[in-house]
Amino acid sequence: MDAADNDLRLIAVMRRYFALREELTRLKSALEGRRKAMGIPVGEFYHVRSESEHAVDVVRFVTLKKEMDFLMSLAEGWARGDVIRLDTPAD
């Protein structure tokens, strides 16, 4: 793979990263608004194993954060000269 192709992959990675960051920011704001309105402590509200109406959003928040961490690791690898592999899962 030549450097230009790898650079294009970096651009795709960073576009996805920033899109996720925007979604994460909106989700966090909505979750915090609900938590404060309900008067629930942070630890209780964000406990994903509780049977709450917002557990799906909390799980989504965690999933977004993990994907962002993975994408940033790809970008950091690119900075070290690694080839970005877009077919690698974000587990």
| Tokens coding 15 | 């576009």
Residues 59-86 pLDDT 10s: 999 999 999 999 999 999 999 999 998 8
pLDDT exceeds cutoff 80 at 88: no
The larger pLDDT score, comparing residue 33 to residue 87, is at 33
Q: Is residue 47 included in any domain, yes or no?
A: yes
Task: Count structural domains, the chain.
Answer: 1
Q: Is residue 88 included in any domain, yes or no?
A: no
Q: Is residue 87 included in any domain, yes or no?
A: no
Q: At a CB cut-off of 8 Å and minimum separation 6, what does 84 contact?
A: 6, 9, 10, 13, 74, 77, 78
Q: Is residue 84 included in any domain, yes or no?
A: no
pLDDT exceeds cutoff 70 at 36: yes
For 7-36, what is the mean pLDDT?
97
pLDDT at site 45 = 86
Q: Print the domain residue range for 41.
A: 3-79
Q: Is residue 90 included in any domain, yes or no?
A: no
Taking each helix axis from N to C terminus, what angle separates 3-38 and 55-79, rounded to the nearest 10 degrees? 150
Rounded CA separation 72/10 (Å): 10
pLDDT at site 71 = 97
